[in-house]
Amino acid sequence: MKIALVQNEPVQGDPGSSLADLDRLIGQGCGADIYVLPEMFATGQYIDPSSVVQTMDGQIVDWMVQKASFLNAAVCGSLPVKDNGSTYNRLIFAKPDGTIEYYNKHHLFSYSGEAENYTPGNDRVVIEFRGLRILLLICYDLRFPIFSRNRDDYDAVFYPANWPEKRIFAWDTLLRARAIENQCFAIGVNRSGADDFGFYPGHSAIITPYGETLIQTDAEPQMLCAELDMEQLARFRAKFPVLQDADPQ
């Protein structure tokens, strides 16, 4: 299973330009099975998203579906979506066959006012793609280990994010902790650039179940790709069965 971390700098409030930049960044792809993008990868971050909110048949989702088909891979990233009268920070997982799965962000970042303009999701979402079981989460969810807890039902957890430099030590530390405690691959994709909330230093990474850094970006927009060693994961879980000793939910 090959994963691509696609770390871009969104053009604030301009999805068309953001998507054009992503076309150039991704190019012909790297042969990955899944391309993971940041939180709000095409719009930039908005506490009040009314000016950029999307629909499920809108420009950004359509681009994701087309890109998945072109790459013969899944494309995953978050955007503001209005659905049945509510606005969600929604993580879209677009598959190459045109189907879509999604997760609505559960832990809204009240510190910034996100909770005042978005509806929290209630469902914990685990999907399967090409044999990889994935827990879909977003940014602030990283701080909540109980919601991230592996119930022996996933192999990797995704955290697309807008995580600023002033709290990047927490990002690096918590991403490693989630990988170790859940015996999984923790895959975090942060954005590049700056906005009204601060500077974003990248640090997108894949952390192995041993807590080792498989790959990590610097601050620049870029795409890095790496292979997940699923056989190593299976051997590790069989040899050191932490999950079977976990506390009951």
Domains of the chain: 2-245 (3.60.110.10)
What local confidence, expressed as pLDDT, does residue 127 receive?
Answer: 98
Considering 9, 95, 105, 114, which one is annotated as catalytic? 105
Per-residue pLDDT of the chain (249 residues; tens, 9 = 90+): 999 999 999 999 999 999 999 999 999 999 999 999 999 999 999 989 999 999 999 999 999 999 999 999 999 999 999 999 999 999 999 999 999 999 999 999 988 889 999 999 999 999 999 999 999 999 999 999 999 999 999 999 999 999 999 999 999 999 999 999 999 999 999 999 999 999 999 999 999 999 999 999 999 999 999 999 999 999 999 999 999 888 876
Q: Is 212 a catalytic residue?
A: no
Question: Quick one: which of 219, 188, 215, 187 has its CA closest to 201?
Answer: 219
What pLDDT score does 47 carry? 86
Of these residues, 9, 39, 101, 114, which one is catalytic?
39
Structure tokens at 62: 């359509």
How many other β-carbons are positioned within 10 Å of the β-carbon of residue 72?
Answer: 12
Q: What is the rounded CA–CA span in Å between residue 187 and residue 226? A: 11
**What's the chain's length in residues?**
249
Q: Does the active-site annotation cover 139?
A: yes
Per the annotation, the verdict on 95 as an active-site residue is no
**Per-residue CA distances from 59 to 62, 67, 88, 189 (Å):** 5, 12, 16, 22
* 200, burial (CB in 10 Å: exposed 0-12, middle 13-18, buried 19+): buried
Is residue 249 classed as helix, strand or coil in its secondary structure? Answer: coil
